[in-house]
């Protein structure tokens, strides 16, 4: 009898398990509950596309994100061109050549930089600098040998002679005219000539220095015609051969 009851109970449990796994959960809910669940499912399904659209609409404007700044590049090029033009012009205005076989030559056998020319000038921060420059300043570097521009006789040698520092004056007779060349700011101990000495063109007078009223190593060259200073650069351009 007990075995029969157990068999009936097992069969009833199996039937219940079969029903629970075969029917959807909504089959056991009342009609109102089923409608509510369906509505909830429908509302969720309807909301999903809207959410997806909102994500898709959030995008970056590629054209706005990539902005190529070109103004600075053009500014740099313009500045470089201005500097090149400025210094090219300055180089042309002081360009010269020297004939090593000439009877009148420049104070150096090859062209060297020129920083100041003849005439009015302003040197900021230099209280002792003249407002009218009576010569031309050559800057080949300290210790470079300076040569006589022509044959002549040494008429003056000064050591630490005021503004020109160590300086030498040579008298020349060129085409019947008295011409004097003055070499200033020479290196201490470098002067190679004495008063009354006859010199030939290209003979060493001394070396480039910075003695006297000077802000850096250079040769200050003056040319005097009848004791009056003239533009050395213009005179040498016209007479050096």
- As a whole number of angstroms, the distance between CA 167 and CA 172 comes to 17
Contact (Cβ atoms closer than 8 angstroms) between residue 206 and residue 219 = no
Phi, psi of 159 (to 5 degrees): -110, 120
pTM of the entire predicted model: 0.60
Q: Write down the mean pLDDT value for the chain.
A: 73
Domain 88-239 annotated CATH 2.70.70.10: yes
pLDDT digits 0-9 by tens, 229-241: 999 999 999 999 8
Please state, in angstroms and as integers, the Cα–Cα distance from residue 127 to each residue in 93, 124, 212, 213, following that order.
28, 8, 13, 10
- As a whole number of angstroms, the distance between CA 180 and CA 173 comes to 9
pLDDT digits 0-9 by tens, 3-29: 444 444 444 444 444 444 444 444 444
Q: What is the pLDDT of residue 160?
A: 82
Q: Is 202 left (phi over 0), alpha (psi -120 to 50) or beta?
A: left
Q: What is the pLDDT of residue 163?
A: 87
């Amino acid at each position: 009898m007990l075995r029969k009851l157990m068999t009936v109970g097992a069969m009833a449990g199996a039937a219940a398990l079969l029903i629970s796994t075969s029917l959807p959960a909504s089959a056991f809910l009342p009609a109102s509950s089923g409608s509510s669940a369906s509505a909830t499912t429908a509302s969720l399904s309807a909301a999903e596309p809207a959410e997806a659209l909102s994500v898709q609409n959030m995008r970056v404007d590629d054209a706005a994100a990539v902005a190529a700044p070109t103004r600075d590049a053009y500014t740099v090029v313009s500045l470089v061109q201005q500097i090149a033009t400025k210094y090219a012009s300055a180089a042309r205005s002081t360009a010269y050549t020297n004939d090593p076989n000439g009877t009148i030559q420049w104070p150096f056998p090859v062209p060297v930089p020129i920083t100041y020319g003849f005439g009015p000038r302003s040197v900021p921060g230099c209280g002792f600098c003249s407002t009218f420059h009576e010569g031309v300043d050559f800057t080949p570097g300290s210790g470079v040998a300076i040569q006589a521009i022509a044959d002549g006789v040494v008429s003056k040698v000064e050591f630490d002679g005021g503004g020109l520092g160590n300086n030498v004056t040579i008298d020349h007779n060129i085409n019947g005219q008295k011409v004097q060349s003055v070499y200033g700011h020479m290196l201490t101990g470098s002067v190679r000539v004495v008063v009354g000495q006859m010199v030939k063109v290209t003979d060493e007078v001394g070396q480039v220095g910075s003695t006297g009223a000077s802000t850096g190593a250079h040769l200050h060259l003056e040319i005097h015609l009848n004791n009056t200073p003239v533009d050395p650069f213009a005179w040498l351009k016209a007479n050096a051969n």
